[in-house]
Amino acid sequence: MAMKIGEKPFFDRVDDALDDTFMHQSMANAQDGLRGKKIAATEGDEAIGDWEDWRSAGEEIRRHTLENLDYYLEQLSENFAKRGGHVFFAETAEEANAYIQQVAKEKNAKNATKSKSMVTEEIGLNEALADVGCQVHETDLAEYILQAEEGDRPSHIVVPSLHKNKSQIRDTLKEKAGYSGTDQPEELTAFARSQLRDVFMNADIGITGCNFGVAETGTVSLVTNEGNANMVTSYPETQISVMGMERLVPTWEDLDVMVNLLSRSAVGQKITTYVTNVTPEVGLQSVDGPKDFHLVIVDGGRSKALGTEFQSALHCIRCAACVNVCPVYRHIGGHAYGSIYQGPIGAVLSPILGGYEEYGELPYASSLCAACTEACPVKIPLHEQLIRHRQIYVEEGYADKSEQAAMTAFGIGASTPSLFKIATKGAPTFAKPFVHEGSISNGPGPMKLWTKIREFPAPGKENFRKWFKEHKKGDS
Amino acid sequence: MKISLFVTCLGELFYQEAAKDMVEVLERLGCNIDFPRGQICCGQPAYNSGYRKDAQKAAKQMISAFESSEYIVTPSGSCAGMFKEYPGLFQDDSTWHEKAQKVADKTYEFTQFIVNVLDVEDLGAVYHAKATYHTSCHMMRLLKETESPFKLLNNVEGLELLPLENSYDCCGFGGTFAVKMLPISEQMVDEKVRHVEETGADVLITADGGCLMNIKGRIDREGKPIAVKHIAQILNSRS
């Protein structure tokens, strides 16, 4: 399944989303709630000081890391290996999956527990492990719910099951997991907890993502609210962490900044409930922690962005602050993007990782209001990158032919004053047959789509240039 | 003070009344206005749709029209924002880049110019109505201009300004987005109109032709009894 969500064309997915009134309302409510909490924890929290300074610090750390990515990746992997861990660099999803399948086979693993991770979702790891007889159990509550409903996928980077309500969750668990209780969240959670307890005890392998790899010590840092990462990393003897190749910080001081930015931006928390830091300890006779620890570092198309205008898209720390303010996401929800990365960052990342053929429409699913850029804690110029994607889309010939012709005409019109003069003079006469009571309700040609839902203004009768000329004459 | 009027293509084609009001307000403030005749459109429709070369054509036309101006003042936060994008549009061409930077540096949105350059906040306007104000995204986020319209509107006699819920959310215009992503744009403008209605205002005021065209278009289609006005129309009013 990997990164792609759904097979339907973009506008069919949008229609599905708009028809789902529960989901639509839920997204809007969630945005309003998350936005308020975020502001309280960032601009409104005196304890943290000037939020803009934190954003600048975050941007600087991410830029420095990405500009020296090879150095820090080497430092991370050396430190990880020095303590007995195994590092594998995977260029593609297939390579990553093949390596992890191999580990599972060697361990003869039947069950794996997993703490939520976007990158394992991106590479389609669950399916790959199922192919070698190892079942992956999602342990983040939201992911557990999605896994119960076969084929359901995350609709939000931080709150993956945002599209489902309590009674839908109850029905899913009843049908798929033998649940018999009510739709009270406490009761649903208690059920999931009891189910997961056995799962944790019987896991052969623990799989996690990696919020940040700390280069100076070779540590995998995980940010969760449920503590499930601790369970995943402390029970099984074998642990596999999968990270996107950009997800690292040089030092623990940098980690401190990033965790502050992440938890405050994502859900308006001053600090997340758990920050789980795991470093290989092979031979150190630790009582908990994995005896065999693998770190799989995935490129998956990321390196295509290095050295380009999109490099800063790799600064993303997956907080979803941009998603939480995006007016487009607000109305269509996550699944309409057709990618596990939704919202503005999804519209920027998906074409980089998955190409324009598959995700070229996403950069157009934005009104370029720049709310995303304003919200990003590490200052990725998201709306500018959306425009840049559109330029490439056009330059590489993907754009609609009639649009291309219209824009060529626009370019000529907008650089030829005599033509514009004729157009402004002629507009009222040309528009006259379509004008009723001062506006156009059923416009011709390119106006047609506009007037499907809105009135189009009738061109003003008075010629402004002429008026201005006469007005100025009156002055002298 | 000598200023050049950048009336915008929407201003010239559809919103001449607002453009005239702007001229009258600025003249009352002692500005000597000229209208560079070579001006057409800032090029944003092409730029935002990814047509860089076509946007450059429009930009060159505008830069040439305005390069000798002292100040450029426009009744649109979004079009002023586009002028600020010009230097980036000519990154590979040092001659045009330099010219573009000069034009960008002397461009102001109408209310921003009055408050920040002319240092005036009370225009002596009188307008009796319950109104709410739509903060356009580009004015807010590209120009970083959030206060000037309110400073001026707060001094309009008879105007009761009501707060607009979720004012930070886009109205769904976005240039070609409004037609290219019609079903999404429709949801966005509907939510905006709903919030406007909830204020109980009789008039919606905005400083941007694009947003005005979008929100007014929807309000009129739905037959809602809410007038949509450009801020210049309110600020030039005396009754």
pLDDT digits (tens, 9 = 90+) for B51-92: 999 999 999 999 999 999 999 999 999 999 999 999 999 999
d(CA B52, CA B43): 9
- B contacts of A371 (beta carbons < 8 Å): 137, 141, 168-170
pLDDT at A13: 95
**Which CATH number fits the domain that encloses residue B182?**
3.40.50.11810
Band of residue A445 on the pLDDT scale cut at 50, 70, 90: confident
**Topology given in CATH for the domain delimited by A52-304:** Rossmann fold (3.40.50)
Binary contact (B137, A462; C-beta < 8 A): no
Band of residue A430 on the pLDDT scale cut at 50, 70, 90: confident
3-state secondary structure of B11: helix
Question: What are the two backbone dihedrals, phi and then psi, of residue B226, each rounded to the nearest 5 degrees?
Answer: -125, 125
List pLDDT tens digits, range A131-188. 999 999 999 999 999 999 888 999 999 999 999 989 999 999 999 999 999 999 999 9
Domain boundary at B97, B116, B135, which? B116
- Regarding whether B213 and B129 lie in a shared domain, the answer is yes
Band of residue A289 on the pLDDT scale cut at 50, 70, 90: confident
Check pLDDT > 80 for residue A287: no
d(CA A251, CA B18): 56
- B contacts of A468 (beta carbons < 8 Å): 5, 23, 35
Looking at chain A, the whole-number percentage of residues with pLDDT higher than 70 is: 98
pLDDT at A1: 56
List pLDDT tens digits, range A446-460. 789 999 999 999 998
d(CA B131, CA B206): 11
- B contacts of A376 (beta carbons < 8 Å): none
Check pLDDT > 60 for residue A476: no
Domain boundary at B69, B97, B116, which? B116
Check pLDDT > 70 for residue A284: no
What is the average per-residue pLDDT within A363-387? 98
pLDDT at A424: 85
- Regarding whether B104 and B142 lie in a shared domain, the answer is no
What is the average per-residue pLDDT within B17-45? 97
What is the average per-residue pLDDT within A439-445? 89
- A contacts of B47 (beta carbons < 8 Å): 387
List pLDDT tens digits, range A222-251. 999 999 999 999 999 999 999 999 999 999
List pLDDT tens digits, range A74-92. 999 999 999 999 999 999 9
- Regarding whether B183 and B200 lie in a shared domain, the answer is yes
Tell me how many domains chain B contains.
Answer: 2
- Regarding whether B142 and B211 lie in a shared domain, the answer is yes
Count contacts between A and B (CB, < 8 Å).
Answer: 188
d(CA A134, CA B193): 53
Binary contact (A415, B181; C-beta < 8 A): no
Band of residue A21 on the pLDDT scale cut at 50, 70, 90: very high
What is the average per-residue pLDDT within B94-118? 98
List pLDDT tens digits, range B189-212. 999 999 999 999 999 999 999 999
The 3-class SS string of B181-239 reads CHHHHHHHHHHHHHHHHHHCCCEEEECCHHHHHHHHHHHHHCCCCCEEEEHHHHHCCEC
pLDDT at A181: 93
pLDDT at B123: 97
- Regarding whether B112 and B125 lie in a shared domain, the answer is no
For chain B, positions 217-236, list CB contacts with chain A under 8 A: 217-218, 220-221
pLDDT at A83: 92
- Regarding whether B150 and B103 lie in a shared domain, the answer is no
Q: Which of A185-189, A295-299, A381-385 shows the lowest per-residue confidence on average (mean pLDDT)? A: A185-189
A175–B contact, CB cutoff 8 A: no
Our CA-based measurement puts residue A185 at a distance from the nearest CA of chain B, in whole angstroms, of 29
Our CA-based measurement puts residue A292 at a distance from the nearest CA of chain B, in whole angstroms, of 49
For chain B, positions 95-134, list CB contacts with chain A under 8 A: none
- Regarding whether B159 and B126 lie in a shared domain, the answer is yes
Is residue A300 classed exposed, middle or buried when 0-12, 13-18 and 19+ CB atoms within 10 A define those classes?
Answer: buried
Task: Report how far apart, in Å, the C-alpha atoms of B204 and of each of B131, B152, B163, B175, B233 are.
Answer: 6, 15, 11, 20, 12
Our CA-based measurement puts residue B124 at a distance from the nearest CA of chain A, in whole angstroms, of 22
Show Cβ contacts of residue A413 under 8 Å, excluding neighbours closer than 6 positions.
A419, A420, A423, B40, B41
- Regarding whether B110 and B97 lie in a shared domain, the answer is yes
Task: CATH 3.40.50.10420 in chain A: give the residue spans.
Answer: 52-304
Band of residue A286 on the pLDDT scale cut at 50, 70, 90: low
Band of residue A281 on the pLDDT scale cut at 50, 70, 90: confident
pLDDT at A432: 87
Residue with tokens 């390119």: A446
Residue with tokens 């580009």: B138
Binary contact (A32, B169; C-beta < 8 A): no
Find the closest chain A residue to B187 by CA distance. Answer: A331
| Assigned token pair, B220 | 């009129």
- Regarding whether B109 and B142 lie in a shared domain, the answer is no
Domain boundary at B116, B131, B157, which? B116
**Averaged pLDDT score across all residues of chain B:** 97
A387–B contact, CB cutoff 8 A: yes
Band of residue A291 on the pLDDT scale cut at 50, 70, 90: confident
d(CA A201, CA A197): 6
- Regarding whether B232 and B131 lie in a shared domain, the answer is yes
Check pLDDT > 90 for residue A285: no
List pLDDT tens digits, range A249-276. 999 999 999 999 999 999 999 999 999 9
Our CA-based measurement puts residue A6 at a distance from the nearest CA of chain B, in whole angstroms, of 19
**Domain of residue B60, residue span:** 2-116
List pLDDT tens digits, range A39-86. 999 999 999 999 999 999 999 999 999 999 999 999 999 999 999 999
pLDDT at A425: 85
pTM: 0.96
A25–B contact, CB cutoff 8 A: no
Of B46, B55, B177, the CB nearest to A367: B177
- Regarding whether B88 and B154 lie in a shared domain, the answer is no
Band of residue B38 on the pLDDT scale cut at 50, 70, 90: very high
Single-letter code of the amino acid located at A148: A
What is the average per-residue pLDDT within A461-475? 87
Choose between A438 and A387: higher pLDDT: A387
Q: Other CB atoms closer than 10 Å to residue A175's CB: what's the count? A: 11
pLDDT at A151: 81
- Regarding whether B152 and B59 lie in a shared domain, the answer is no
**Averaged pLDDT score across all residues of chain A:** 94
Our CA-based measurement puts residue A211 at a distance from the nearest CA of chain B, in whole angstroms, of 30
Q: To probe the interface with A, which of B138, B169, B228 has the most A CB atoms within 10 Å? A: B169
pLDDT at B217: 98
Which H or E run contains A276? strand A274-278
Binary contact (A471, B218; C-beta < 8 A): no
List pLDDT tens digits, range A327-351. 999 999 999 999 999 999 999 999 9
Our CA-based measurement puts residue A445 at a distance from the nearest CA of chain B, in whole angstroms, of 12
Binary contact (A367, B46; C-beta < 8 A): no
Q: Are B146 and B113 in contact (CB under 8 A)?
A: no
